[in-house]
Amino acid sequence: MTTYSELTKKIEYQHNHLAKKLDQLEAAIDKRSNGEAISEVLNAMTQYITEHFELEENAMKMANYKHYERHREAHLDFLRKTAEFCTHSSPNWEKPSSEITQFLRNWLTDHVAVEDREMIQCLEKFSEQPKKWGKPGKP
Ligand SMILES: [Fe+2]
């Protein structure tokens, strides 16, 4: 059984890992890697982000987080924009630009600093209680 504090640590670990994945994507673009190599890194990153969002959304649901819908909508909006970006950019991967990484970095930095921080503060209130993950109480 996972406690809220373990869950919070996992979310924060994934935020750090996301920053590393973003560095890898930037490196692939800087090295002028071919389109296939860039797509591979981007796909792996998008997959990781999707799983990360699911973890956060499950945590928010279990904690009856009051801003769940707003936060989930932000995730969906990000995934839609990223998919659009990839669709429009992929024919030009041979001449990769840093636009995609700028978009990802700006969005993720703001989201982690504001919305995720607020969510983590809520989860941390549960962490102070002896309650176990899956049995939320009132923070
Ligand atoms: Fe989030």
CATH code for the domain in which residue 18 is found:
1.20.120.50
What's the 53 CA to ligand 1 centre distance in angstroms?
A: 6
Residue 128 has a pLDDT of: 64
**Does residue 14 fall inside a structural domain?**
yes
Residue 107 burial by Cβ neighbours in a 10 Å radius (0-12, 13-18, 19+): middle
Q: What is the mean pLDDT of each run of 10 residues along the chain (139 residues)?
A: 82 94 85 76 90 95 93 96 78 64 92 96 76 51
Max distance between CA atoms of the chain, in angstroms, equals 54
Q: How many domains does the chain have?
A: 1
What's the 2 CA to ligand 1 centre distance in angstroms?
A: 19
What's the 75 CA to ligand 1 centre distance in angstroms?
A: 6
**Does residue 92 fall inside a structural domain?**
yes
**Does residue 16 fall inside a structural domain?**
yes
Residue 139 has a pLDDT of: 47
What's the 47 CA to ligand 1 centre distance in angstroms?
A: 15
What's the 67 CA to ligand 1 centre distance in angstroms?
A: 11
**Does residue 35 fall inside a structural domain?**
yes
